[in-house]
Chain A
């Protein structure tokens, strides 16, 4: 039971249950503001019947159309521990894909820690495949690699965008 609606500034005052999860980063205000000001439709929150925030998704559309690189990107996707295993992440992903379809994006992509098997498996179930590995994308001790996972949208008729790259790339090589 979910109300999926656009994230508003005031939700920042109430997203603690979600953000106290150690893998959910709390960013400085500019980060959220940038998304709210530029891609407000891509920042959605899932609310419970009692008005609690269950999770949210942040994303954007970017890339050049001419090169068929115009795509939706998932910047963050998170669900509070007590609202997991309800299919919320899938709902939010599907909403982001729909929005990207409406914008004629070629594909949707996202980065995920290679160690986060639960998430990798979930994205695979949602139709995503590993496009490439990005070395030491997550800084930490030690740094961790990321998978760049992609799902082609209907604009990419021949599914060219998801043909896996044979070699891993460095973070500085990705656009």
Chain B
């Protein structure tokens, strides 16, 4: 009883600390902890809690030491262990959590609680071997099935993660199998999860026969959580075993239960054609049996599918698309196999398509359903086909022209028709394109009445007309590059949004078009309005995120980039919790899935790209002197000597399927184009990351002494591990070579001729960058830094060659700068009538400002290296009292360079200011844009209002650019040797 009383006293004493921590009053928590410790020195829980409070007051180092002190006493009280766990987890030191429970388990080996904590600590770390042992230890202490299977799953994870396939197949999986087998023999398998794990183990070893035995045996009856799971597993295994007769019969049977399941049709057809290829013929025995019928000939399959169609027509409920699409799929496959005779038995492609249209033409999905089967028709038949579809429209004709539909279903059919015509290429050489556009616009306007009772959260059914119009216009823009078309499309879509505020297609295309005009500001509202968040930032961010930087909206860029990075950095913690949950709830099959999902996010190209851009941006915006740069660098984790990006593993997580498209084949986005664009994205990221690492190398070269803090301690450790010293300039030298080689690689590649498709990816800034000679400017200034650093170790009077090289690089930079600025003499807009806009000018200016800022930063680091040299020289001079010592050329050259850089910056600043003047003078009312149908109440939207948005956005770009430029110039002016 005395012990119990002791606990109560401690608990009462600790309470105020807990309360303070809960209230986020860390200062008070520390005071309370100190108070308790004065009374009761040995109450280590108070120390652990104090460590948490210290950590949360940004006193990480102290917290670490205090926690280590507590941990060294190998506590076993629950409260202390819990507090330490929290502390270490917040420090992201999961390894230390495992250590404290290892110690606790050593002291109390029979504790189920400690062991399960230890197991979960290992799950967090992904230490599968230790998981396996701990799971077994748990099972020995408390023989519960889940513990046993935790251990089995941990073995499977070792099999899945080892790079040694042999080890996986010969050791881990057989071991896991034996363990489950033993339980099965002893009739100890209880849960469905255990059976599924068993199947997973067998399937990973390709032991499909054995797996099948499990599925059809007594254990198979446990597979009930998903519908038809037992049958489905069976069917899947027949496919794996290439037992086509059985697979065929099984999928046929499944289709009888649900004739709308596409995947089952696909498997059914695959099995069918395997049987056909092998010359299967029905035997007498097959014909007799009732349910497990094999339909292994083309005729039997046609009959089966026709039956599904008949049944569907008979059952009187809402028609399901399955049987009708399956019939077209079968026809397509037969045609592709050249079996025309059989194909003819089903019917002609255009008849089937027309029938489908007749039944489902009023559904918005009809176009997408039909599209894959359009290729079955001959080119000559296309026009006739579309013509014939018109007979299904139920829209009266007036004077040969279709008049307007009377209800939403007729309209939907018409929309499908227009889409099909476009997709078949019938609109490509249209002479009456303008009439078509007018007609579609009129129909869009007219169709709005069918949606007037809809909620504002619904999409208007006639929106597709407007979208198709935009697609048509965009195709013209692709050919002509006429910017007035951009304005026209934007006006149309802005009006569209006013009528249908929930249409995300409108907004995404608007973002694309505004970006084409170089205007970032309007995109912000559009993007925020769609509430794109969390994982969508990875999949849809490509529409938007990188342009804040590219178009000079730096303040926005900072907040956008940090919000997105927050998502990625939380990913690891977020997902790991649920790996633990999956063990707890026995969802073993989800564990590898969640782990690879975590990897896919972690390896997202976006993640790396955002991080690199964010760091470059921080240097440009946040630093105005060498010390700040060094501080910032310590805070970031950049290692110049080591490329942290796993290039070969990077994932393209962009969603390129989100925009609807009715485009004909030649303008359909292909996988190859996506791959190509991903390649270019990676090339761009490589260049940016090389520049960032070079900048880091410059800083470390001029200020090698690390600042205090845990991070710099880690760094020292790293350099002890035999890595090359950054301080010696070789790292930077090799980075310069890498940049040059990389640029050469990129330039050697043939330009991709990638069309800038409306639904497709957007090219990187690489071309603008290389055309603007930014790589030359930066590598030259980096070279200067290397050479200045070399001066430190050589006799100033003997280093003539080095000094001349520096001087040459200064020259090169200044000449390049002049050249670049001269070549950018096009103004952003010309105010004539009609006015012209050249948005690419903005991108060029933004890059130039960025490069100038980076050069200013490097230049300031050169000053840090030159200054001591000058000081030594002055001292020597004074000592020797020798007035004849020549002042080395480099000091003078440096001073001249800084002055010229400032002058150039002033010129650039003037250019930025001119943008402002030019755009104010533009009058867009003379811009020739096609007539946009009037929406009486939406008249407020016009080309003038759109131009105002664009202009305001330019002004923000220019304002922010000039701000950051001024700041850097100010700083350059203060540089003295």
Chain A residues 1-41 with CB under 8 Å of chain B are: 1-6, 8-10, 12-14, 16-17, 19-23, 26-30, 33-34, 36-38, 40-41
Q: Across the interface, do A102 and B225 meet the contact criterion of CB distance under 8 Å?
A: yes
Q: Contacts A1-B262, A1-B320, A33-B578 given; indicate if A26 touches B585 (C-beta within 8 A).
A: no
Cα distance, A103 to B329, chains bound together (Å): 37
Q: Across the interface, do A3 and B590 meet the contact criterion of CB distance under 8 Å?
A: no
Selected contact of B658 from candidates A17, A49, A83, A103, CB within 8 Å: A17
A116 / chain B contacts, CB cutoff of 8 Å = 455
Q: Contacts A20-B658, A33-B575 given; indicate if A1 touches B260 (C-beta within 8 A).
A: yes
Would you give the 0/1 interface string for B770-794, flagging 1 where the beta carbon is closer than 8 Å to chain A? 0000000000000000000000000
Cα distance, A6 to B590, chains bound together (Å): 11
A68 sits at the interface (CB 8 A): no
A159 / chain B contacts, CB cutoff of 8 Å = none
A172 sits at the interface (CB 8 A): no
B364 sits at the interface (CB 8 A): yes
A127 to chain B, nearest CB (A): 15
Chain B residues 529-569 with CB under 8 Å of chain A are: 530-536, 538-540
Cα distance, A115 to B456, chains bound together (Å): 12
Q: Across the interface, do B322 and A37 meet the contact criterion of CB distance under 8 Å?
A: no
B42 sits at the interface (CB 8 A): no
Q: Across the interface, do A87 and B368 meet the contact criterion of CB distance under 8 Å?
A: no
Selected contact of B582 from candidates A37, A48, A49, A86, CB within 8 Å: A37
Q: Across the interface, do A26 and B655 meet the contact criterion of CB distance under 8 Å?
A: no
Would you give the 0/1 interface string for A55-87, flagging 1 where the beta carbon is closer than 8 Å to chain B? 000000000000000000000000001111111
B322 / chain A contacts, CB cutoff of 8 Å = 1-2
A98 sits at the interface (CB 8 A): yes
In the complex formed, the residue of A with least CB distance to B229 is: A41
A99 / chain B contacts, CB cutoff of 8 Å = 225-227
In the complex formed, the residue of A with least CB distance to B461 is: A81
Would you give the 0/1 interface string for B646-669, flagging 1 where the beta carbon is closer than 8 Å to chain A? 000000010101101000000000
B320 / chain A contacts, CB cutoff of 8 Å = 1, 86-87
Cα distance, A70 to B153, chains bound together (Å): 30
B345 sits at the interface (CB 8 A): no
Would you give the 0/1 interface string for A101-136, flagging 1 where the beta carbon is closer than 8 Å to chain B? 011000000000001100000000000000000000
Q: Across the interface, do B224 and A102 meet the contact criterion of CB distance under 8 Å?
A: yes
Q: Across the interface, do B531 and A36 meet the contact criterion of CB distance under 8 Å?
A: no
Selected contact of A16 from candidates B263, B455, B655, CB within 8 Å: B655
B363 / chain A contacts, CB cutoff of 8 Å = 85-86
A17 / chain B contacts, CB cutoff of 8 Å = 657-658
Chain B residues 436-463 with CB under 8 Å of chain A are: 455, 457-459
Of A1, A23, A81, most buried by chain B (CB within 10 Å of CB) is A1
Cα distance, A36 to B574, chains bound together (Å): 13
B582 / chain A contacts, CB cutoff of 8 Å = 36-38
B391 sits at the interface (CB 8 A): no
B594 sits at the interface (CB 8 A): yes
Chain B residues 354-384 with CB under 8 Å of chain A are: 363-365, 368-369, 372
Q: Across the interface, do B587 and A40 meet the contact criterion of CB distance under 8 Å?
A: yes
Q: Across the interface, do B574 and A29 meet the contact criterion of CB distance under 8 Å?
A: yes
Q: Across the interface, do B585 and A37 meet the contact criterion of CB distance under 8 Å?
A: yes
Cα distance, A91 to B540, chains bound together (Å): 29
B426 sits at the interface (CB 8 A): no
Chain B residues 695-717 with CB under 8 Å of chain A are: none
Q: Across the interface, do A2 and B536 meet the contact criterion of CB distance under 8 Å?
A: no
A50 sits at the interface (CB 8 A): yes
B329 / chain A contacts, CB cutoff of 8 Å = 49
Selected contact of B368 from candidates A10, A21, A82, CB within 8 Å: A82
Q: Across the interface, do A16 and B577 meet the contact criterion of CB distance under 8 Å?
A: no
B263 / chain A contacts, CB cutoff of 8 Å = 3, 5, 47
B581 sits at the interface (CB 8 A): yes
Selected contact of B590 from candidates A5, A37, A98, CB within 8 Å: A37
B502 sits at the interface (CB 8 A): yes
B261 sits at the interface (CB 8 A): yes
In the complex formed, the residue of B with least CB distance to A17 is: B658
In the complex formed, the residue of A with least CB distance to B459 is: A81
Q: Contacts A49-B325, A50-B372, A81-B459 given; indicate if A33 touches B594 (C-beta within 8 A).
A: yes
Q: Across the interface, do B658 and A16 meet the contact criterion of CB distance under 8 Å?
A: yes
A20 to chain B, nearest CB (A): 4
Selected contact of A29 from candidates B227, B534, B540, CB within 8 Å: B534
In the complex formed, the residue of B with least CB distance to A36 is: B590
B99 sits at the interface (CB 8 A): no
B543 to chain A, nearest CB (A): 11
B538 to chain A, nearest CB (A): 7
Cα distance, A67 to B226, chains bound together (Å): 26
Selected contact of B534 from candidates A23, A26, A36, A103, CB within 8 Å: A26
B571 sits at the interface (CB 8 A): yes
Cα distance, A90 to B540, chains bound together (Å): 30
Cα distance, A6 to B196, chains bound together (Å): 15
Selected contact of A4 from candidates B261, B574, B581, B587, CB within 8 Å: B261
B531 / chain A contacts, CB cutoff of 8 Å = 22, 26
A36 / chain B contacts, CB cutoff of 8 Å = 578, 582, 587, 590, 593-594
Selected contact of B321 from candidates A1, A4, A50, CB within 8 Å: A1
A1 / chain B contacts, CB cutoff of 8 Å = 260, 262, 320-322, 325-326, 369
B653 / chain A contacts, CB cutoff of 8 Å = 13
Chain B residues 462-505 with CB under 8 Å of chain A are: 502, 504
Cα distance, A92 to B122, chains bound together (Å): 38
In the complex formed, the residue of B with least CB distance to A23 is: B457
Of A12, A20, A36, A115, most buried by chain B (CB within 10 Å of CB) is A20
B577 / chain A contacts, CB cutoff of 8 Å = 30, 33
In the complex formed, the residue of A with least CB distance to B318 is: A87
In the complex formed, the residue of B with least CB distance to A31 is: B534
Q: Across the interface, do A14 and B655 meet the contact criterion of CB distance under 8 Å?
A: yes
B212 sits at the interface (CB 8 A): no
Of B227, B325, B533, B653, most buried by chain A (CB within 10 Å of CB) is B227
Selected contact of A9 from candidates B365, B369, B458, B593, CB within 8 Å: B593
A16 / chain B contacts, CB cutoff of 8 Å = 536, 539-540, 655, 657-658
Of A21, A49, A115, most buried by chain B (CB within 10 Å of CB) is A49
B579 sits at the interface (CB 8 A): yes
Cα distance, A85 to B412, chains bound together (Å): 12
B333 sits at the interface (CB 8 A): no
Q: Contacts A20-B658, A33-B574, A87-B318 given; indicate if A48 touches B587 (C-beta within 8 A).
A: no
Q: Across the interface, do A37 and B658 meet the contact criterion of CB distance under 8 Å?
A: no
Of B365, B577, B596, most buried by chain A (CB within 10 Å of CB) is B365
B233 sits at the interface (CB 8 A): no
B504 / chain A contacts, CB cutoff of 8 Å = 20-21
Cα distance, A99 to B502, chains bound together (Å): 34
B600 sits at the interface (CB 8 A): yes
A49 to chain B, nearest CB (A): 5
A80 to chain B, nearest CB (A): 9
B410 to chain A, nearest CB (A): 15
A59 to chain B, nearest CB (A): 12
Cα distance, A34 to B578, chains bound together (Å): 6
A32 to chain B, nearest CB (A): 8
B589 sits at the interface (CB 8 A): yes
In the complex formed, the residue of B with least CB distance to A8 is: B593
B597 sits at the interface (CB 8 A): yes
Selected contact of A14 from candidates B260, B593, B600, B657, CB within 8 Å: B657
Cα distance, A29 to B577, chains bound together (Å): 11
In the complex formed, the residue of B with least CB distance to A116 is: B455
Cα distance, A103 to B227, chains bound together (Å): 11
Q: Across the interface, do A48 and B365 meet the contact criterion of CB distance under 8 Å?
A: yes
Name 9 A/B residue pairs within 8 A (Cβ), A-sorted: A1-B260, A9-B596, A10-B597, A37-B594, A38-B587, A49-B262, A49-B372, A86-B365, A95-B227
Extra inter-chain contacts (18) besides given A10-B600, A26-B534, CB under 8 Å: A1-B321, A1-B326, A3-B262, A5-B263, A9-B596, A20-B532, A22-B531, A29-B535, A36-B593, A36-B594, A37-B579, A37-B590, A49-B372, A54-B365, A82-B364, A82-B660, A86-B321, A87-B320
Counting from the closest, the 4 A-B pairs by CB-CB distance are A9-B597, A33-B578, A20-B504, A37-B581
